[in-house]
Amino acid sequence: MCLFQSAARRLVPQVRCGLKASSSKKFGLEMARPSSNMADFREVFAKAKHIAIITGAGVSAESGVPTFRGAGGFWRKWQAQELATPGAFARNPSRVWEFYHYRREVMLSKHPNPAHIAIAECEKRLSKQGRSVVVITQNIDELHRKAGTKQLLEIHGSLFKTRCTSCGNVAANYKSPICPALAGKGAPDPDTEDAAIPVEDLPQCEEDGCNGLLRPHVVWFGEALDPGVLTEVEKELDICDLCLVVGTSSVVYPAAMFAPQVSARGVPVAEFNTEPTPATNRFRFHFPGPCGTTLPPALARHETEIIS
């Protein structure tokens, strides 16, 4: 059993959305200070056959996607942690659906930025050379998909999928609005009153004879991640020979442990982030700055690549 699998399976009972690493000591002994030499990274990149790219909120922030984190990260009077929970949905499904309706509508106006596009173009180009790129994202906005990424593992789900609370059916849903009762609702202003939409008028399952209440197919705080998705993540991290960590704080489990475990088995890891993270000193490379600026030249065609 590989190092990543062993660590991940020890953590399986604890793999809940929102758990945070308490300090950089969680990642074990630190390595030498990481390099920011792009030429050295490009030499490693040119030889890599299986590239895993782990992305977080930072890559989407450059597209103007609100994060609802930190100071000012409120929707009305609440932060995401207060709304994105099973308990909040049980108590007030109308309010939670207003919040997610707002987020869905915002995302329909957002577009992939140069970082998303660079990743998608790299995947397409390398696939023609018998090389692979897989994106493991914590984001639920589908901007990677919109950019053209094909090999995509969404560990926290998607804003544009729903799950029935009765029959469990999961379905893609890009309706705008998602149901008539939510039209014009979801304004984020703190003075906005709740719409108090009756449950029967909220999004309903369209499977024959069901009509159950739908919920967003996202992993809420305190919920377990999909074990099937985690298994796929394990497989990809087991075989990767280069790992990129893009726009993530490296403090939220389980994603916080992915790259350090890859690094621990000797695989080069490159971090692209606006600032250092608790895991930075575990990696071979660190490139500070906006991902949309640093990532495109890192993933551009290398002079040794043969394009058929």
Q: What residue numbers does the annotated binding site for Zn(2+) cover?
A: 164, 167, 205, 210
Active-site choice (101, 156, 217, 286): 156
Task: List residues forming the annotated binding site.
Answer: 56-75, 100, 103, 138-141, 164, 167, 205, 210, 247-249, 273-275, 291
Give kind and range of the element (H or E) at residue 79. strand 78-79
Neighbours of 233 (CB within 10 A): 23
Asked if 116 is an active-site residue, the reply is no
Question: What are 275-281's contacts with CB under 8 Å, separation 24+?
Answer: 277/248, 277/249, 277/250, 277/251, 278/21, 278/23, 278/24, 278/26, 278/27, 278/250, 278/251, 279/24, 279/27, 279/245, 279/250, 280/34, 280/250, 281/24, 281/30, 281/31, 281/33, 281/34
For tokens 């990149």, the residue is 45
Task: List residues forming the annotated binding site for substrate.
Answer: 100, 103
Task: List residues forming the annotated binding site for NAD(+).
Answer: 56-75, 138-141, 247-249, 273-275, 291
Q: Which residues pair with 96 in a beta bridge?
A: none
Question: What are 102-106's contacts with CB under 8 Å, separation 24+?
Answer: 102/75, 102/185, 102/186, 102/187, 102/188, 103/66, 103/159, 104/159, 104/160, 104/176, 104/178, 105/176, 105/177, 105/186, 106/65, 106/66
Tokens encoding 54? 């782990």
Catalytic residue set: 156
